[in-house]
């Protein structure tokens, strides 16, 4: 900053630069200071309604930004001065209202002098992102995640105070030199939003290309700021103007056609950007907090289990990963706890931009994942082998696929089902697999040969769930006839049925020691029942959900049951207790389809129709549980020999 030159505030001065030690402009005689304290040193920008200067606070001896408002005249007519003055005063009010947030310029003063209005605010030492983009080129995923992680809390801060910025773009975001944080500037278009005003049509304000569709029609919402920030990210990622990204035929931003292939973007970030820039408000993120959750900008997972009992008040969401590529129907954690597999998709798959694939997530590092894409329909079940070397997936395309985890290659495809596969389970013996279909058939597979060893057809309708005992000798079947059937694995011999549900049985799970079986039922019953297998008796009935229980799983120590329901909740309950510990989470926007505990019990994963994978912190002692310690259940075996 030049300390010897002052800049004249008279917009019509022909020679505005004057020696800084003068009181008035040597050319026009205009006062060179505002309130005898603030002096302009250079012109930053000029527009139809005002100018922006880099100035100096002579009292505090600090740099500042001076915004001067003056409506220009054309042919003697004042250009919309009333609205412009209103916006100018609005910026001062918004800056004052937002207080001292470190990523919003501080308001120093708001002054009227000689028929001109001035806002004096903090000078941010740094470059705006438009200049950064011009200087360094396209931003990487790491850069964008850093930007979003820094600015989204700022948006949440202003939205909590009912303020909509309405003009987020690269020019209004400054990368500060003193620290790694980004600063949001220019609140001239900001609006105080009340509940009654959000639905009304107002003045069209914002920068073309960055303004959300509803904002173009004068109906800006808090989600409009998320759209503008998302488009800003797409501009930084592609170096292409939002106007060029827009495809009128598809009515969406086709940014994937432009970004640099040398700077790859993960599916998770791509889905987040799509969710921020969706034209339809119902498909767009509704809050900055929701985007932060999708980014996983929360505390990391604990490295080891805590030796204490669960606390319903402390158990909380660790992070949410938004795939945006189809519902999640199944989850499983690898035996060593390093990988989380998710299976899902959508019926029309690629036709509607969804992936029918298995995703392998690295536990603790959720930014990236690998996709296994060879299924032609949604994946309904994924299961790791006990040694963690293979993953088995079942799909509505009527096939079972076996994947090599280390190479991520497909080892074999099992074909034999006549109907869509609905569920499958891998025996602890590793070479035996059970799979069920919507046509009521159950197939017994030899994974070594890929051959069907036996086939069972039931008249009870869809096989909703299968569960195999920890010793691999027996399996349970859940179907539409409201009963749970127990069978021998080898020989497919029926043992007994458990009756008590009044609707279809939709989910099953054996306890780690094989002593108990948990079953969940459909919408009309929606009960959770716990059976003791040695006596074939019902031990407990829990009614924790309002709709169907789509999945159940025991915690590794067998003391708790996690459930996923169509009522949009995930619940964990302590079993066989008079006053059980209970936890409930209800942040989903659709049915929850699946839950999976980590082998060490430190977290619980869940997935649902809203295309999100959520990781919940679950602290408990697992010292009593070890893989392979399960004892056989007390069911009399058939005397017939196995095949």
For residue 620, the model assigns a pLDDT of: 45
Query: Would you say 49 and 89 are in contact if contact means Cβ atoms under 8 Å apart?
Result: no
pLDDT above 50 (res 639) = no
- Residue spans per domain, the chain: 5-91+106-122, 126-293, 309-617
More confident residue, 230 or 367: 230
pLDDT tens figures, 447-492: 888 899 999 999 888 899 999 999 889 999 999 889 999 999 988 8
Residues facing 126 on adjacent strands: 176
pLDDT above 50 (res 313) = no
Lowest mean pLDDT among 60-74, 145-159, 378-392: 60-74
pLDDT above 80 (res 618) = no
SS3 250: coil
Lowest mean pLDDT among 161-170, 579-588, 616-625: 616-625
DSSP state of 24: B
- At the topology level, CATH places domain 5-91+106-122 in Phosphorylase Kinase; domain 1 (3.30.200)
Percentage of residues in the chain having pLDDT higher than 70: 81
pLDDT tens figures, 505-534: 999 999 999 999 999 999 888 999 999 999
For residue 429, the model assigns a pLDDT of: 78
SS3 172: helix
Lowest mean pLDDT among 28-32, 226-230, 282-286, 622-626: 622-626
pLDDT tens figures, 155-164: 998 888 888 8
Pairing of strands 582-585, 474-478: unpaired
Q: Tell me which residue of 524, 577, 505, 520 sits closest to 553, measured CA to CA.
A: 520
pLDDT tens figures, 272-283: 999 999 998 888
pLDDT above 50 (res 556) = yes
Interval 136-153 mean pLDDT: 91
Q: How far is CA 512 from CA 199, 409, 557, in A?
A: 54, 31, 7
H-assigned helices in 35-106 = 81-97
pLDDT tens figures, 383-434: 999 888 999 999 999 999 999 998 888 999 999 999 999 999 999 877 899 9
Query: Would you say 41 and 92 are in contact if contact means Cβ atoms under 8 Å apart?
Result: no
For residue 86, the model assigns a pLDDT of: 63
- Confidence class of residue 47 from pLDDT cuts 50, 70 and 90? confident
Separation CA 259–CA 239 (nearest Å): 8
- Confidence class of residue 626 from pLDDT cuts 50, 70 and 90? very low
Architecture of domain 126-293: Orthogonal Bundle (1.10)
- At the topology level, CATH places domain 309-617 in Methylamine Dehydrogenase; Chain H (2.130.10)
For residue 205, the model assigns a pLDDT of: 60
- Confidence class of residue 589 from pLDDT cuts 50, 70 and 90? confident
pLDDT above 70 (res 202) = no
Residues facing 46 on adjacent strands: 51
pLDDT above 50 (res 503) = yes
> What tokens appear for 307 in the block?
């030796």
Distant-in-sequence, close-in-space partners of 351: CB < 8 Å, separation ≥ 6: none
Residue with tokens 């980590």: 598
Residue with tokens 């000078």: 123
Residues facing 118 on adjacent strands: 68, 111
SS3 342: strand
For residue 499, the model assigns a pLDDT of: 94
Interval 46-55 mean pLDDT: 83
Residues taking part in catalysis? 167
Q: Tell me which residue of 216, 331, 355, 365 sits closest to 274, measured CA to CA.
A: 355
Distant-in-sequence, close-in-space partners of 574: CB < 8 Å, separation ≥ 6: 559, 560, 580, 581, 582
Pairing of strands 494-499, 560-565: unpaired
For residue 189, the model assigns a pLDDT of: 56
Q: In what order do the strands lie in the sheet with 126-128?
A: 126-128, 173-176, 182-184
Query: Would you say 435 and 462 are in contact if contact means Cβ atoms under 8 Å apart?
Result: no
pLDDT above 70 (res 260) = no
For 215-226, letters b (16+ CB in 10 Å) and e give beeebbbbbbbb
pLDDT above 70 (res 320) = no
Q: In what order do the strands lie in the sheet with 432-437?
A: 421-426, 432-437, 441-446, 451-457
Interval 44-56 mean pLDDT: 84
Mean pLDDT of the chain: 82
Helix, strand, coil share (%) of the chain residues, nearest 5: 15, 35, 45
> What tokens appear for 624 in the block?
């009593």
Helical axes 222-238 vs 129-136, angle rounded to 10°: 20
- Confidence class of residue 353 from pLDDT cuts 50, 70 and 90? low
């Amino acid at each position: 900053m030049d300390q010897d030159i002052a800049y004249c505030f008279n917009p019509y001065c022909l020679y505005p630069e004057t020696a800084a030690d003068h009181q008035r402009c040597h050319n026009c005689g205009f006062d060179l200071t505002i309130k005898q304290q603030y002096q302009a040193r250079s012109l930053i920008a000029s527009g139809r309604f005002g100018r922006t200067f880099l100035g100096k606070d002579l009292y505090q001896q600090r740099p500042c930004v001076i915004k001067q408002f003056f409506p220009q005249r054309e042919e003697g007519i004042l250009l919309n001065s009333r609205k412009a003055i209103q916006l100018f005063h609005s910026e001062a009010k918004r800056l004052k209202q937002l207080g001292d947030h470190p990523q919003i310029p501080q308001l120093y003063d708001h002054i009227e002098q000689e028929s001109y209005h001035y806002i004096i605010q903090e000078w941010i030492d740094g470059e705006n992102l438009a200049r950064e983009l011009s200087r360094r080129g396209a931003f990487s995923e790491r850069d964008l995640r850093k930007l979003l992680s820094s600015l989204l809390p700022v948006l949440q801060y202003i939205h909590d105070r009912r303020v909509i910025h309405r003009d987020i773009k690269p020019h209004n975001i400054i990368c500060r030199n003193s620290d790694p944080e980004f600063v949001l500037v220019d609140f001239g278009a900001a609006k105080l939003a009340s509940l009654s005003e959000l639905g009304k049509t107002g003045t069209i304000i914002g920068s073309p290309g960055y303004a959300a569709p509803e904002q173009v029609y004068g109906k800006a919402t808090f989600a409009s700021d998320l759209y503008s920030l998302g488009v800003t990210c797409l501009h930084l990622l592609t170096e292409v103007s939002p106007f060029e990204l827009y495809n009128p035929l598809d009515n969406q931003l086709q940014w994937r056609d432009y970004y640099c292939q040398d700077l790859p973007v993960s599916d998770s970030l791509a889905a987040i950007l799509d969710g921020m820039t969706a034209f339809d408000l119902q498909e767009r993120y509704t809050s900055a907090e929701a985007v932060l959750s999708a980014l996983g900008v929360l505390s990391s997972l604990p490295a080891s289990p805590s030796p204490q009992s669960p606390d319903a008040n402390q158990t909380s969401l660790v992070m949410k990963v938004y795939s945006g590529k189809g519902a999640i129907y199944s989850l499983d954690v690898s035996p060593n706890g390093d990988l989380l597999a998710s299976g899902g998709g959508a019926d029309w798959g690629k036709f509607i931009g969804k992936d029918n694939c298995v995703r392998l997530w690295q536990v603790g590092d959720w930014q990236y994942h690998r996709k296994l894409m060879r299924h032609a329909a949604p994946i309904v079940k994924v299961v790791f082998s006990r040694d963690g070397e293979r993953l088995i997936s079942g799909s509505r395309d009527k096939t079972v696929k076996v994947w090599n985890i280390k190479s991520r290659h497909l080892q074999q495809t099992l074909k034999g089902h006549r109907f869509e596969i609905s569920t499958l389970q891998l025996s602890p013996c590793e070479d035996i697999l059970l799979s069920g279909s919507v046509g009521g058939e159950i197939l017994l597979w030899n994974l070594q040969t890929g051959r069907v060893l036996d086939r069972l057809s039931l008249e009870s309708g869809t096989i909703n769930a299968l569960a195999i005992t920890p010793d691999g000798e027996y399996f349970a079947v859940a179907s539409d006839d409201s009963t749970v059937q127990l069978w021998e694995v080898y020989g497919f011999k029926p043992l007994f049925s458990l009756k008590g549900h009044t609707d279809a049985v939709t989910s099953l799970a054996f306890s780690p020691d094989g002593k108990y079986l948990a079953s969940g039922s459909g919408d009309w019953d929606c009960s959770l029942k716990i059976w003791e297998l040695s006596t074939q008796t019902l031990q407990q009935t829990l009614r924790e959900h309002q709709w169907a229980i789509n999945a159940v799983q025991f915690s590794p120590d067998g003391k708790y049951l996690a459930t996923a329901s169509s009522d949009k909740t995930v619940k964990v309950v302590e079993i066989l207790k008079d006053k059980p510990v209970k936890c409930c989470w209800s942040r989903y926007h659709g049915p929850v389809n699946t839950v999976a505990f980590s082998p060490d019990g430190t977290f619980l994963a869940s997935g649902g129709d809203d295309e999100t994978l959520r990781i919940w912190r679950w602290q408990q002692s697992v010292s009593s549980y070890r893989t392979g310690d399960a004892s056989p259940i007390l069911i009399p075996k058939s005397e017939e020999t196995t095949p």
